[in-house]
Amino acid sequence: MLKAINARIVHPQAAPDAIPLTLNKGDPVQVKQAHPDRPGYVWAEDGQISAGWVPLDVLDLNSGVPRARATYCSSELTVAPGDTVRLMWEDAAHQAWWCEDRAGERGWVRLEFLQVDE
């Protein structure tokens, strides 16, 4: 039987106040600024209502108009120390986990903010 892998939050994370950006390969984006404390991430917008932090390597910046190289969702979870989340998918390249909180909300949490339960 498969057992859920849980982690405890050891550092707070606040999700951006924006409707998360969901990209499909080839979608155009507007790249704004670099993340202030996370190298390799930029704020990207779809030009309508969605925006979020996106890893640079998910974007093709050499085609004139920045476009998504792959499917990606910028959704992040707001979490506080002591919260428990279910680990769903590790993105080792970007040092983050796609997680689900107790309310069923899903999004990215930085690896350094997690302590895996034994």
Q: What is the pLDDT of residue 2?
A: 58
Return the sign of the alpha-carbon dihedral for residues 12, 17, 20, 21: negative
Do 59 and 88 fall into the same domain? no
Both tokens assigned to 81: 């120390």
Q: What is the pLDDT of residue 63?
A: 80
Q: What is the CATH number of the domain that holds 95?
A: 2.30.30.40
Q: What is the pLDDT of residue 4?
A: 74
The residue among 114, 33, 104, 115 whose CA lies nearest residue 75 is 104
pLDDT tens-place string over residues 12-52: 999 999 999 999 999 999 999 999 999 999 999 999 999 99
Quick check: pTM over 0.85?
yes
Do 29 and 69 fall into the same domain? yes
CA distance 79 to 66: 31
| pLDDT surpassing 90 at residue 3 | no
CA distance 28 to 86: 32
pLDDT tens-place string over residues 42-78: 999 999 999 999 999 999 999 889 999 999 999 999 9
Q: What is the CATH number of the domain that holds 43?
A: 2.30.30
Mean pLDDT over 70-97 rounds to 95
Q: Where are the beta strands (DSSP E) in 39-79?
A: 41-45, 51-55, 59-60, 67-68, 72-73
What's the Rg (C-alpha) of the chain?
15
Q: Which of 38, 53, 73 is the last residue of a domain?
A: 73
